[in-house]
Every structure is written in structure tokens, then in C-alpha cells.
């Protein structure tokens, strides 16, 4: 069992899968900057959380529900949890973009289910991710494989944060979507002579608008 001061946010699991260095900057060094993607995501969640409780025939919908697991030391806010008559709680997480290949969204949702199971003493077999761009739900089954992967990410995150070591910067195509690129400067370790050279070369090679490369010179 973990004390509340040892908890870390469920959202940190997604940050770790996206980029360990970004995760450490946010949750170890307390560094944060907004960009258009983070602002759009925050606006979406704010809209979802406006009405805390809603009742419809056969279902009670609770928004912005606080969750925690004493066993694993995680906590966070579920966008929506639906309570259908006679069925298990059904978490729904809202995302601004489209589904990802890295399973980070599924891990975040599964961690919410693990918290719900501990808090409500019941099994939570499935939930949904709602993606705003296609505006549809994608149902997620909380299989043993997904649960084990989620628990391994929880353990990896705790070990990284306990180590107090900032992971090395590694440049990738993900970097252009990261709001912390100026704090991280990922390609400086790849041979650029200065920060000015890095930003000029990195954005020229990686940042596109439609089919046209950005001109940052």
C-alpha cells in the first residue's frame, strides 16, 4: 500500500510511453509548457467535465470522477464513468486526435479500470476511448495482456521517478508534437554545434505544413 504523498498521476503513464524524457521533465522536474495540441486537449476535457452527473434511462453518467489505487500508488481523473443498470462501471476517456500505435491511450484507460476495481470491489472488463477527430468510440477490452503491460509501465515509471535520473534526449519525429521541445533540445546530442543550429535544422527537416516543408531560415 502506498501513502498519498507517494502517488503519481495516471496521465504520467501515457507520458512515459510517449517519451521517458518528457515524462521525467514533467513529473520529476515540474517543467510544463503549452502548445496548440495541449491547449486543444485541455479545452476538450473542460467541455467533457462541465456537467458532473447525468442520468438517462438505464444509465448514470459521472464526469470528472477522481480515482486512486492504494495498491499501485496511482491517481487521476476519469473523464466519464458510465454506470449501466446491472453492469460493471464503464470508463470512457476522451482524446483530441486519433488512435495511436503505441497503446498509451489503452494503458491510461486500463489504469483507470484498475483503480475502479479497487475502489468499487468489482471487475471492470472493458471501457472506451472516444477520439474527437473521427468522433467515435473505440471499445477496449482489459485483457490479461493489457493489464500486465499496464502494471509493467506503472513499475517502470516508479523506478524512473525514484532514480531521480533524467533520461537522455533522443530525437524522433514525435518531438515536433511535444510542447517541451525547447526545454529538452533533443538533437543537441546528435552532433549539432549549437542550439541555434539545432532548432533551424530540426524544424526544417521534420516540420511540415501539408506537403510543404516549413522555411525557418
CATH of the domain at 27: 3.90.320.10
Q: 185: left (phi > 0), else alpha (psi -120 to 50), else beta?
A: left
Task: Output the nine-digit C-alpha cell for 123.
Answer: 471487475
Residue 102 belongs to a domain: yes
Digit-coded pLDDT (tens) for 67-124: 999 999 999 999 999 999 989 999 999 998 888 888 999 999 999 999 999 999 999 9
Q: Is residue 199 part of a domain?
A: no
Does residue 116 form part of some domain? yes
Number of structural domains found in the chain = 1
Mean pLDDT of 21-26: 88
pLDDT digits (tens, 9 = 90+) for 154-177: 999 999 999 988 888 887 877 877
Q: Which among 174, 172, 171 is positioned nearest to 190, based on CA atoms?
A: 171
Q: Of 73, 66, 88, which is closest to residue 27 (Cα–Cα)?
A: 73
Up-side HSE of residue 122: CA atoms within 13 Å toward CB?
A: 11
pTM value is 0.76
Mean pLDDT of 194-217: 46
Which domain covers residue 148, as residue numbers? 4-165
**94 half-sphere exposure, CB direction, 13 A CA radius:** 20
Looking at per-residue confidence, does 115 or 39 come out higher?
A: 115
Query: Quick check: is 189 in a domain?
Result: no
How far, in Å, CA of 31 to CA of 171, rounded? 19
Q: Is 127 within a domain?
A: yes
Answer whether residue 176 is part of any domain.
no
Establish if 97 belongs to a structural domain: yes
Domain-embedded: residue 34: yes
Amino acid at each position: 500500500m502506498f501513502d498519498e504523498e507517494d502517488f503519481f498521476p495516471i496521465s504520467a503513464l501515457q507520458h512515459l510511453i510517449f517519451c521517458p524524457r518528457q515524462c521525467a521533465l514533467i513529473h520529476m522536474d515540474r517543467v510544463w509548457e503549452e502548445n496548440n495540441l495541449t491547449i486543444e486537449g485541455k479545452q476538450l476535457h473542460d467541455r467533457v467535465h462541465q456537467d458532473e452527473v447525468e442520468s438517462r434511462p438505464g444509465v448514470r453518467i459521472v464526469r470528472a470522477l477522481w480515482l486512486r489505487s492504494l495498491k499501485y500508488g496511482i491517481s487521476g481523473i476519469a473523464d466519464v464513468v458510465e454506470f449501466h443498470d446491472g453492469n460493471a462501471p464503464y470508463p470512457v476517456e476522451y482524446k483530441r486526435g486519433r488512435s495511436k500505435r503505441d497503446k498509451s491511450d489503452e494503458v491510461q484507460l486500463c489504469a483507470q479500470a484498475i483503480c475502479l476495481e479497487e475502489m468499487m470491489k468489482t471487475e471492470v472488463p472493458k471501457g472506451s476511448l472516444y477520439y474527437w477527430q473521427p468522433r467515435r468510440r473505440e471499445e477496449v477490452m482489459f485483457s490479461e495482456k493489457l493489464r500486465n503491460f499496464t502494471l509493467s509501465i506503472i513499475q517502470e515509471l516508479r523506478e524512473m521517478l525514484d532514480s531521480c535520473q533524467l533520461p537522455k534526449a533522443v530525437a524522433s519525429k514525435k518531438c515536433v508534437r511535444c510542447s517541451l521541445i525547447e526545454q529538452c533540445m533533443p538533437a543537441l546530442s546528435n552532433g549539432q554545434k549549437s542550439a541555434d543550429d539545432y532548432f533551424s535544422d530540426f524544424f526544417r527537416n521534420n516540420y511540415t505544413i501539408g506537403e510543404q516543408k516549413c522555411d525557418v531560415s
